[in-house]
Amino acid sequence: MRILVTGAAGFIGFHIARRLLADGHEVVGLDSVNQYYDVRLEECSYRKVPHLVYASSSSVYGGSTQMPFSVQKGADHPLSMYGVTKRTNELMAHSYSYLFGLPTTGLRFFTVYGPWGRPDMVLFKFTKAILDDRPIDVFNNGHMKRDFTYIDDVVESVVRIMEVIPQPDPKWSSDQPDPSTSMAPFRLYNVGNHDPVELLEVITLLEEALGKKAKRNLLPIQPGDVPATYADVESLERATGFRPRTPMREGIQRFVQWYSEFYGS
């Protein structure tokens, strides 16, 4: 197929484009490699795109304490502006699905990590600081839990969900609405490891992989942050036959190996 990947210069977009090319697809990469992003129309409704798959985030769950987070439950109290924008994306996608019959699937990614990751993400920052012998800022005294998801599992989920084109759900009812589906061709899925790991454990695994102890600067939780994330991925597995399952220890070892080779550390 000819596949448009927006954000192709970014962390997840880069890995997905590389996988699609390896699978023999033609990839058209679109990104803005400068400091500002133009607000443009997508043209999906006019081009009769067969399936729009877009990135959402676990941040949409915000203040929810109903663990694990489920796409069948509401996500209407995000605590950060980032979460607000991702939830807005989902709502706009639903409107397009309803108004234009455009099949859309939103994937709520949970703390993605791995080679070629963003330098501002926690694993990348911690690795660099430890190797530079600088202290790391550990918020909520390290007791935050995150459902860390290895990049290869994310890519596999995206590639598989591309083939699962949503149809209007004949069982959908406005009396008892399921937020993950609709009378329109619209779906939402979580993409997470279904295994929350405490930040202190992540630091310990990172220390083992690097062979060096971290200097820890313990701090309170930041405004807009949440104590834990935990993905319910049953609907993803039902739809694709796949669920992320890379253990944290293995994923960190792969990341550290890549980091050492890339930066010569």
Catalytic residue positions? 82
The DSSP code sequence of 10-41 is SHHHHHHHHHHHHTT-EEEEE---SS------
Q: What are the residues whose beta carbons fall under 8 Å from the beta carbon of 91, sequence distance 6 or more?
A: none
Is the four-CA dihedral 69, 72, 101, 163 of positive or negative sign? positive
Q: What are the residues whose beta carbons fall under 8 Å from the beta carbon of 95, sequence distance 6 or more?
A: none
Q: How many CB atoms lie within 10 A of CB 136?
A: 19
- For the record, the structure tokens of 227 come out as 């104590």
Contact (Cβ atoms closer than 8 angstroms) between residue 163 and residue 209: no
Q: How many CB atoms lie within 10 A of CB 24?
A: 7
